[in-house]
Amino acid sequence: MIIAIDGPAASGKGTIARRLAAHYRLPHLDTGLLYRAVGAKALAEHVDFDDEAALAVLAGGLDLGACDPETLKSGAVGEAASRVAAVPDVRAKLLRLQKDFAAQPGGAVLDGRDIGTVIAPAADVKLFITATPEARAARRHRELLQRGEEATLDAVLADILKRDQRDSARASAPLIRADDADILDNTRLDVEQSWQAALDLVERRRPHGGLHERGQ
């Protein structure tokens, strides 16, 4: 079974994807980490974000096994990731890696911006996780403060809105809901309610028969 999860920044799609992967014992790929890794490398090597050829070279040399989520969560890296993700050649370099992950025997759970539309258009289950920009900004603001980063709620909201615009307006694989994706708006849901709503949607959609699960 392939589960494709898309949605804007700070919508909670990553948390849901990880829990679904654990529940159904499927491998999970946060595709945003790939773009964060490229963005982080660009920052570290002082690569100009307008130099699309140089950014594509960084993407081409990316090692999936070296993508450490904890080191790629800073606000600066998130902004860099949003910028490199808008570069068509970067997306092209990372496309095959993501498609191969989705096509592995037994299936997988992937979350990102274009999973249901580009990476795995034939996925068995597609979810589009969303929330208002204000709700997402509040969540991201709490995360940053918990990691000891200084940030104002207004600044985080402005960044969320800018990233939404960039993700939705880019020419290559923009953030859009797949026609056959179920929408989960978790603006007024807590983490557990959002997880349960997502699980219910998957259970209604997934092919039954032979897939083992933990029953969490």
Q: Does the pLDDT value for residue 152 go beyond 70? A: yes
Q: Can you give the CATH number for the domain in which 194 is found?
A: 3.40.50.300
Chain position carrying tokens 């597609």: 126
* Averaged pLDDT score across all residues of the chain: 91
pLDDT tens per residue across span 94-126: 998 999 999 999 999 999 999 999 999 999 999
Measured distance CA(46)–CA(149) in Å, rounded: 22
Chain position carrying tokens 């080191």: 71
- Per the CB < 8 A criterion, the answer to whether 62 and 38 are in contact is yes
Q: Is 207 contained in some domain?
A: no
Measured distance CA(124)–CA(23) in Å, rounded: 16
Q: At what angle do helices 31-44 and 88-102 cross, to 10 degrees?
A: 140
Q: Is 55 contained in some domain?
A: yes
Q: Is 101 contained in some domain?
A: yes
Q: Is 30 contained in some domain?
A: yes
Domain of 56? 2-201
Count of domains forming the chain: 1
Model pTM? 0.86
Comparing C-alpha atoms, which of 173, 34, 31 is closest to residue 110? Answer: 31
**CA dist 86 → 39, 54, 140, 208, 209 (Å):** 11, 14, 21, 37, 40
Q: Is 16 contained in some domain?
A: yes
Q: Is 212 contained in some domain?
A: no
Indicate the pLDDT class of residue 66, thresholds 50, 70 and 90: confident
Measured distance CA(113)–CA(86) in Å, rounded: 11
What order do you get walking across the sheet with 28-30 strand by strand?
28-30, 108-112, 2-6, 125-130, 182-185
Comparing C-alpha atoms, which of 22, 7, 51 is closest to residue 213? Answer: 22
**Range name among 58-67, 89-98, 151-160, 192-201 with the lowest pLDDT average:** 58-67
Q: Is 209 contained in some domain?
A: no
**Burial code of 140-164, b = ≥16 C-beta within 10 A, e = fewer?**
bbeebeeeeeebeeeebbebbeebb
Q: Is 215 contained in some domain?
A: no
Q: What is the pLDDT of residue 178?
A: 96
